Structure 1
């Protein structure tokens, strides 16, 4: 029987030891430190009330990790797929047109009803997630068998099918609760027009709703989201016991399919106003887990004060750096090229995240490790790389008709350069990198000021038309989805392209599926994918990467990554490394024990595709939600639980 799926990564990186040995003393083991069997974490949620189901439009915070679940859980950064409500991995037909999923016999809703295949049917017809763009229909056979029928004109490769299924939270729609809306959604979809096989239009279940049907579909969706149930609709291992603006208490769900292997009885969830408060909670042993990093001094201080904590490191599929606001006339091709040479990126990396991996590439659509994985060998090797060369930068700026007087730079109009830098205040990597970037610019003769705000204000200010920000210190490339290459391009389309203010199609464009989308051309590199001018438009293929594999996929990634690099829209400073603070006294089963027993600040980043690579990634609740707790890989340090950790495997 298959236990779990690890989508093989093509890039095998050597074991990386990243800087900053802290000298923290090793770990001292104690027994029965957590006799109450409580897990204490930080999270955010809707302070005015969580709502009664996942899709009610409110932030359900920790209930997304522990209260609802999908057929599977995929682990971001490793693409490991772990069965949850499903008995095993999906089974695909030989012709690739159908996929069959078997639901666990002992899967129940928290109200006691059995979780059945019709619930999955209802989830998809109501929510129209990404996978529905590739499906013709969802069917059910009895109570425990789900059948997905794929659109023969847009069949993803099997590995992508698994990931598309695994990213959805199917255990959030009970047909018995949402029957009226699910049936109405199915009726509307069934009566909508089929999309022709040669059309570039995308639609759920290969249908295109318009006119009265579109109005009805929207009204039904809004009614479904506004629905108030008498219980929080979920199948998860924990259910809401207490709710307040500052604390949630989740209690173990005795009906859960894996209840007997879940050692924690309750999860206490606290809120935090900022990083300083979060770090204080860690230091004072008030929480057991927090994802992310801190500056070296802060991390050392936290570990020194709370000797029960360990900190593990892991790769993050994203790069931090500079994004130019292309609305500003200052950013000519020559100037953007010059800026590639201004910065000592190692210095910026050390300020923002000393555990990260320095990059000397421009913004190129994805982090370096993903680029090396998905591009052809020749394509990756020919990507432009830059260096710290202030003299070269000066030469290029002079060619752009900039002048320097008394160590102060002036633009081609003779106006003194004074840049406004936007960044996120509460992200240490971004805020500290921004300060380092400002210091380097000052030394180079370019004046600047920094505007630090919370993330929401940063997004609003940076993406607005005529933004006051000249450049932004933020994610240049980030994959928030599974690592098939289009994930990072979709992040560009939805998040970074508005920050960059690149060209877009008019919102009333005659080709409706392109209206408002990115309109930027890349060199087609002589491939079969080019138009009559030898170009490829960003929006032409970004939605159908999933149907490509092998050499065709590598060719497309080469085109896109070289296209990004040629545009010089930004500067990669470093590929991020993130981490997990974990209380290894209160939690049993924390990986890399041989390392944190010697030094609680584990500076080893496990090599890609190693067992440790998967083990450590699971510890991050952002990457894997609550799978590590739900499957019993974590247990409370209480009497009788030490042996249970070693007897549980995922699957």
Structure 2
């Protein structure tokens, strides 16, 4: 059996132009990076971007997507760097707990923070935003009170007040809080603040208390009125400069190119090296544009052979590897009868050679041998007590064990494949967001085991979610991210993805018909009893210290022991930079020898935070606004 599988995989690897069984080639280094001048005399950064072709609107909430202008022109009070512990204070000079009330945060705004039209950034700008645009933050808030123009207080709900550490993470998750300036949207802000403050408080014993905005009872009439105000706010056409506070502001754009110019009023303007940012619309020519020096940065990690080819064809490119704090794998669709038997779910953990899959598709990362945990293994290692971390079930590639478990579940292997306990031939369909390479390998491996697998490609993650949710979905399982945490370094981020974003909905985890909450009862990590996973997640940001570790352990170990899916390998992305044009990049001593920088750093490794910040989707503009990435002139 192993020999047959290997032959199949070798064929797939050949068709994908992979070199997964060969060590990395040494790519010629780049000399003189620290001692010789570069080529970027104009101090311009060029990269890929995307925005609404028909127009970007006049402000952030107007509907269209302004793409790069949002990323580099708008900001919040604070900004975290994904996968790291780094949080930059941006418009906030400080965020501290009120010594007189532990349920209150005092936010002080920078004195030198201005909107692009010259108006100072004030406390009411943030009140305007949060009262107009309800989001997760406002479900934790009780009130926002202005102290003076540059100071305001956030009153957190006493019964679900986030911990001091979690407050900064939650605030930094809200990355574009400076997007509804009070001096422009005063009429809408005043009206919605008056409406909200006039509502009756909600009962803390109410099951929905954690979800209600500002702890109020939102009646049908209040929701209707709020909706009207919000709709009018979005429809407002602003005649002046697109409002922002970030390091760059709009210069010009058309369907294919957007040019941003340095914001002279930016409080960190002296540290901003690039005078302009030029964005080209993304598409199938991204790599060619990189190779032709038309762009100087590109996010991504191609297959190993392709990566080496790109680096060899352009001697000025470097590629870094950055862990993405996610896991790729398989999610079971619990609409289907096949997954109702836990022994069957356990058997499927043994079928696949995950290491072979990882070497074929993600050469530089690591294999995971766990069931779906909803938290990647290195994140779990950081947050769990060591004893709990060791309790996460680990599997291996063992088709004999898989066969034994399936037979115990009443399945039978016949000459034409597997039959379930009802003597129905097992033929499965996997939905993917377009991940053909992974789906093809899974199809071959399951086929060799005796389970035919049909591949159905959806239109991206959104299409995959929609298709999985329809009644009697054609998907028996889905390939997607079995864990993801892009919301700051806290366990709440991982389970936000699982419960609020994608996975639980995609897998059709049963819900309570009265409350809509997921019904996922798991066994505690110490085995002393069961717990409701949603109820723990709902309060995850309120826990601290050992209690946070213990509760996180319950979630990770408890969900893992339900065998809801299969983790395959840890996610990894890359960052391409053109060394002729971009300066001050990390590890010049490494790319002086080999421009394929293969080091994969973890949280506590030297240089991890700096490396993570170079990826524009991890730190956004912070490395550019703080002088960490500069023009190499």
**Same-fold status (TM-score > 0.5):** yes
Q: Which residue of 2 is the match for residue 466 of structure 1?
A: 472
Q: Which residue of 2 is the match for residue 272 of structure 1?
A: 282
> Structure 1 residues 92 and 33, CA, compared in 2 at 3 Å: closer, same or farther?
farther
Corresponding residue SS for 2:84: coil
Matches within 5 A, 1:202-241: 202=210, 203-230=212-239, 231-241=241-251
Q: Deviations over 1:558-606 (max 9, x none)?
A: 2222221122110001121222111222110111111111111111112
Q: Deviations over 1:486-542 (max 9, x none)?
A: 211121112011211110122xx2xxxxx3231221224679xx9xxx532222232
Matches within 5 A, 1:288-307: 288-307=296-315
Matches within 5 A, 1:559-638: 559-638=554-633
Question: Alpha-carbon deviation of 1:88?
Answer: 4.0
Give the whole-Å Cα distance in 2 for the aligned partners of 1:352 and 1:221.
Answer: 45
Give the whole-Å Cα distance in 2 for the aligned partners of 1:32 and 1:368.
Answer: 41
Q: Which residue of 2 is the match for residue 372 of structure 1?
A: 381
Question: Alpha-carbon deviation of 1:94?
Answer: 6.1
Give the whole-Å Cα distance in 1 for the aligned partners of 2:415 and 2:355.
Answer: 27
Q: Which residue of 2 is the match for residue 328 of structure 1?
A: 336
Q: Which residue of 1 is the match for residue 185 of structure 2?
A: 178
- On the 8 A contact 2:525/2:558 being kept in 1, the answer is no
Question: Alpha-carbon deviation of 1:340?
Answer: 0.3
Q: Which residue of 2 is the match for residue 382 of structure 1?
A: 391
Question: Alpha-carbon deviation of 1:463?
Answer: 3.0
Identify which of 480, 498, 505 aligns with 2:505: 498
Q: Does 1:396 align with 2:405?
A: yes
Stretch moving more, 357-366 or 410-419: 410-419
Give the whole-Å Cα distance in 1 for the aligned partners of 2:66 and 2:25.
Answer: 37
Extract unaligned runs of 5+ from structure 1: 1-17, 510-514, 639-651
Give the whole-Å Cα distance in 2 for the aligned partners of 1:325 and 1:359.
Answer: 21
Question: Alpha-carbon deviation of 1:373?
Answer: 1.8
- On the 8 A contact 1:78/1:617 being kept in 2, the answer is yes
- On the 8 A contact 1:282/1:302 being kept in 2, the answer is no
Q: Which residue of 2 is the match for residue 517 of structure 1?
A: 517
Give the whole-Å Cα distance in 2 for the aligned partners of 1:442 and 1:19.
Answer: 26
Q: Which residue of 1 is the match for residue 43 of structure 2?
A: 37
Give the whole-Å Cα distance in 2 for the aligned partners of 1:453 and 1:628.
Answer: 35
Question: Alpha-carbon deviation of 1:320?
Answer: 0.7
Q: Does 1:61 align with 2:67?
A: yes
Q: Which residue of 2 is the match for residue 164 of structure 1?
A: 170
Corresponding residue SS for 1:563: helix
Corresponding residue SS for 1:194: coil
Give the whole-Å Cα distance in 1 for the aligned partners of 2:588 and 2:193.
Answer: 51
Q: Does 1:83 align with 2:105?
A: no
> Structure 1 residues 564 and 299, CA, compared in 2 at 3 Å: closer, same or farther?
same
Q: Deviations over 1:362-382 (max 9, x none)?
A: 001211112122222222111
> Structure 1 residues 294 and 463, CA, compared in 2 at 3 Å: closer, same or farther?
farther
Question: Alpha-carbon deviation of 1:464?
Answer: 2.6
- On the 8 A contact 2:45/2:276 being kept in 1, the answer is yes
Give the whole-Å Cα distance in 2 for the aligned partners of 1:20 and 1:496.
Answer: 35
Q: Which residue of 2 is the match for residue 47 of structure 1?
A: 53
Stretch moving more, 24-33 or 399-408: 399-408
- On the 8 A contact 1:108/1:235 being kept in 2, the answer is yes
- On the 8 A contact 1:90/1:162 being kept in 2, the answer is no
Corresponding residue SS for 2:567: strand
- On the 8 A contact 2:388/2:525 being kept in 1, the answer is no
Give the whole-Å Cα distance in 2 for the aligned partners of 1:69 and 1:190.
Answer: 27
Corresponding residue SS for 1:294: coil
> Structure 1 residues 253 and 458, CA, compared in 2 at 3 Å: closer, same or farther?
same
Q: Which residue of 2 is the match for residue 258 of structure 1?
A: 268
Give the whole-Å Cα distance in 1 for the aligned partners of 2:592 and 2:146.
Answer: 50
Question: Alpha-carbon deviation of 1:239?
Answer: 1.5
Corresponding residue SS for 2:159: coil
Q: Which residue of 1 is the match for residue 10 of structure 2?
A: none
Give the whole-Å Cα distance in 2 for the aligned partners of 1:151 and 1:170.
Answer: 20
> Structure 1 residues 415 and 222, CA, compared in 2 at 3 Å: closer, same or farther?
same
> Structure 1 residues 349 and 92, CA, compared in 2 at 3 Å: closer, same or farther?
farther
Q: Which residue of 2 is the match for residue 442 of structure 1?
A: 447
Aligned length: 603
- On the 8 A contact 2:524/2:557 being kept in 1, the answer is no
> Structure 1 residues 194 and 140, CA, compared in 2 at 3 Å: closer, same or farther?
same
- On the 8 A contact 2:46/2:295 being kept in 1, the answer is yes
Q: Which residue of 1 is the match for residue 105 of structure 2?
A: 99
Identify which of 102, 105, 116 aligns with 1:110: 116
Q: Deviations over 1:68-125 (max 9, x none)?
A: 0111111111131112222345455364232222222221111111111221221222
